[in-house]
Amino acid sequence: MDMEAKRSMEAKRSMEATRSLEELLAAGKPLNEKYKSGFATLIGRPNVGKSTLMNRLVGQKISITSNKPQTTRNRIQAVYTSEEGQIVFLDTPGINRAKNKLGNYMLKAAEGTLQDVDVILWLVEPTTYIGAGERHIIEQLKKSKTPVILVINKTDTVKKEEVFPSIDTYRRELDFAEVVPVSARCGTNTDTLISCIFKYFPYGRPFYDEDTVTDQPERQIVAELIREKALRSLDEEIPHGIAVAIESMKYRKNIADIQATIICEKDSHKGIIIGKGGQMLKTIGSKARPEIEDMLQCKVNLQLWVKVKKDWRDSDFLLKNFGYNPKEPE
């Protein structure tokens, strides 16, 4: 199928999904006058727990996580739906100084969401030290008229009394609509956070039907799951320079045949990703396969290759090819 036909099919599916939602709303119960819906974005410096929190709030894995910076590269849209209303979450890349075109794309994606949402969730760690990264975010938030909820994450890593000084420190820097301490890893106080978000939403119909949890294409989620396992398995320097491209994804009966390529920037990295006797590549595949099967609800035959594309993070063509639009992050 050529690209034009594929786009036409995707547009048709989108129109059908919108029409079915409208029909569902028209044929169903009258709209609850107390029902709220809106958009919330999660911002913060890299590795503060944005993706973990979003996955926790939505109730399943949408965005990949690891202990390495620049894990999230796109604005991931996830949907939380309850009787009270619907929250559409945007999990942005960590706001950090850009070092290449991919970094510029990620920075624009993160900062661009501040103007397009009903409420901003700023995630920080329970500390009284405000570094350069947080200072940059404070300056961005001062320019925004959107309500900001300060979310003190990782409260499970400190004593309860240590959280209050960090709250006082940040309150001296910015006027927050709410301050909510949570533990994304443990799920502590996340219900309170949901209630606080709804305070700043308008009344209105849902944007998605109640079964929708993300607008990300299956291929993109599969690619991100593979990249997550690579991030967790490889040495420090390599993950920053890798991407994953899904070459083929076909279904037969109850099996999905997936062919994917891990892209790296150096020949020396290719050898490390493959590993002795192909062992590292097998490890990445064996770790990714169960989660892909869980998402697709079928058996998966996953085949992985490795290719070298030098300086792909500074190539507009390759960035777009790997799912990042350097001109206009969506």
**In the numeric block, which tokens belong to residue 160?**
């309860």
**In the numeric block, which tokens belong to residue 4?**
């034009």
Tens of pLDDT, residue by residue over 265-304, are 888 888 889 999 999 999 999 999 998 998 888 999 999 9
CATH number at residue 285: 3.30.300.20
Tens of pLDDT, residue by residue over 135-158, are 988 988 898 889 999 999 999 999
Tens of pLDDT, residue by residue over 77-112, are 788 999 999 999 886 654 444 444 444 544 555 455
Winning range, highest mean pLDDT, from 10-14, 72-76, 177-181? 177-181
Least confident of 112-126, 166-180, 281-295: 112-126
Which helix (H) or strand (E) segment holds residue 77: the answer is strand 76-81
In a domain, residue 61? The reply is yes
In a domain, residue 254? The reply is yes
Are 3 and 126 part of one and the same domain? no
Per-residue confidence (pLDDT) for residue 196, from 0 to 100: 97
Query: Mean pLDDT for the chain?
Result: 78
Domain total of the chain: 3
Kindly report the pTM of this predicted structure: 0.62
Query: Who's near 82: CB < 8 A, 6+ residues apart?
Result: 194
Which helix (H) or strand (E) segment holds residue 121: the answer is strand 119-124
- For the chain, percent of residues with pLDDT exceeding 70: 70
Beta carbons within 10 angstroms of residue 309's beta carbon: 17
Of the residues 167, 199, 231, the one at which a domain ends: 199
Tell whether the model's pLDDT for residue 184 goes beyond 50.
yes
**Alpha-helical segments (H) within 2-95:** 3-27, 50-58
Are 75 and 131 part of one and the same domain? yes
Per-residue confidence (pLDDT) for residue 265, from 0 to 100: 82
Domain span including residue 269: 218-321
Tens of pLDDT, residue by residue over 226-263, are 988 888 888 665 656 788 888 989 988 889 999 999 98
Are 21 and 46 part of one and the same domain? no
Q: CA 88 to CA 65: how far, in whole Å?
A: 19
Identify whether the C-beta of residue 46 lies closer than 8 Å to the C-beta of residue 110. no
In a domain, residue 285? The reply is yes
